[in-house]
Amino acid sequence: MAIADPVTRGTVTPGTVTPGTVFPDTVFPDTVTPRSGAILDWYAAHQRDLPWRRPDATPWAVLVSEIMLQQTPVARVLPVYAAWLARWPSPASLAASPAGDAVRAWGRLGYPRRALRLHATAQALVERHGGQVPASADALRALPGIGSYTAAAVASFAFGQRHAVLDTNVRRVLARLVSGRELPSASPSAAERRLAESLLPEPPAVAARWSVAVMELGALVCTAARPRCASCPVAASCAWRRAGHPADGGPRRTQKYAGTDRQCRGRLLAVLRDCAGPVPGSQLEAAWADQLQRSRALDGLVADGLVDPLPDGRFALPGTHPVPGTH
Ligand code: SF4
């Protein structure tokens, strides 16, 4: 099946994709199944123009986007991603900055330990890989804080390799389309991984494009709450739709945020981010009334390396203020 795209940026040879040609608009005829072809065709027509998918996105930019997108929606990631790459266009530039600058630049993306992980990854890339992002999924997985998903995503999207990329959207689409279930299990099983691998088109560059196409289908059409089956390119072969959309049953888990330790941590960290230098404990007290919860949250931030306690009783973002005897 020929995959027609509105814009042709050139053809690639399987296995020889270099950064910047990862999502070719012309792919190989007769190498995809009709169902894969329908999703690839849909993607060609409906994909969003996202900076990390553009031909000029470097492997570092792809890696940064993957970490940011793990638990944060695209709309919130876009401005932080742009500012981050403008300031730190390479791993070496981030590695040369204090970790606290990364935490500050992370802003309100949430789960700020990701900023520390990205900083540690940048340092490891400088120390072990000459400041370059390695292409091998194994080498990527060996970096601090890079798990199987991120390694597969970066190897696929930055280097055009063939890996099953099982993010939330992909898992939901495959659960419905192939397994006839509304939602996937809490975490991917070996069987689910094998299934996802069996569905990948053979040419690595097409497999990479298929992965991002399924991801986009899950984000825009096969959404968690309201799938738009009437607009879906694979509705005719969707097992869940054909079964009449049976509900998985059981109450949906909704994550409470207000009043949690997580919200408290966010408030305390926001105080530190918004100040140019260290802050006294009294300033943190004003940010959260419950003393017990505040102490617990602050202890957690210190234990996680997101906050440095200073000898004079003040607090600072990590590495941004010299601590006598440690710097
Ligand atoms: S038909 Fe509906 S449920 Fe099935 S993959 Fe498409 S959007 Fe999802």
What is the number of domains present in the chain?
Answer: 1
Amino acid identity for residue 310 in this structure: L
**Ligand 1: residue whose CA is nearest its atom 1:** 235
DSSP 222: S
* Residue 297 in domain: yes
- Dihedral Cα 155, 158, 161, 163, nearest 10 deg: 50
* Residue 321 in domain: no
pLDDT score recorded for residue 255: 73
pLDDT digits (tens, 9 = 90+) for 98-154: 999 999 999 999 999 999 999 999 999 999 999 999 999 999 999 998 999 999 999
pLDDT score recorded for residue 256: 85
Of the chain, the percentage scoring pLDDT greater than 70 comes to 86
Coil, strand or helix at 308: strand
| C-alpha 132 – ligand 1 centre gap (Å) | 39
* Residue 57 in domain: no
The residue range of the domain holding 284 is 261-316
pLDDT digits (tens, 9 = 90+) for 310-320: 999 999 999 88
Atom of ligand 1 nearest to the CA of 229: 2
The closest alpha carbon to 239, from 251, 252, 222, 225, belongs to 222
* Residue 287 in domain: yes
pLDDT score recorded for residue 33: 72
Residue 38 φ/ψ, nearest 5 degrees: -65, -40
pLDDT greater at residue 15 or residue 170: 170
pLDDT score recorded for residue 21: 33
pLDDT score recorded for residue 163: 97
**Ligand 1: residue whose CA is nearest its atom 4:** 238
Amino acid identity for residue 19 in this structure: P
| C-alpha 54 – ligand 1 centre gap (Å) | 27
> Which range is most confident: 5-14, 176-185, 241-250?
176-185
**Ligand 1: residue whose CA is nearest its atom 5:** 177
Cα separation of 141 and 271, whole Å?
Answer: 34
pLDDT digits (tens, 9 = 90+) for 51-99: 999 999 999 999 999 999 998 999 999 999 999 999 999 999 999 999 9
| C-alpha 45 – ligand 1 centre gap (Å) | 18
pLDDT score recorded for residue 36: 84
Q: Give the domain CATH number at 276.
A: 1.10.10
pLDDT digits (tens, 9 = 90+) for 92-114: 999 999 999 999 999 999 999 99
pLDDT score recorded for residue 174: 95
Cα separation of 127 and 201, whole Å?
Answer: 35
With left for phi above 0 and alpha for psi between -120 and 50, is residue 281 left, alpha or beta? alpha
Kindly tell me if the per-residue pLDDT of 15 is higher than 60.
no
* Residue 296 in domain: yes
Which of 178, 232, 245, 248 to mutate to test ligand 1, by most ligand atoms within 8 A of the CB atom? 232
pLDDT score recorded for residue 26: 39
Structure confidence at residue 7 as a pLDDT band (50, 70, 90):
very low
* Residue 302 in domain: yes
**Whole-number mean pLDDT of the chain?**
88
| C-alpha 49 – ligand 1 centre gap (Å) | 23
pLDDT score recorded for residue 128: 97
* Residue 132 in domain: no
Q: Is 127 a catalytic residue?
A: no
Ligand 1 site residues (CB inside 6 A) read 173, 176-177, 221-222, 227-229, 232, 234-235, 238, 240-241
* Residue 47 in domain: no
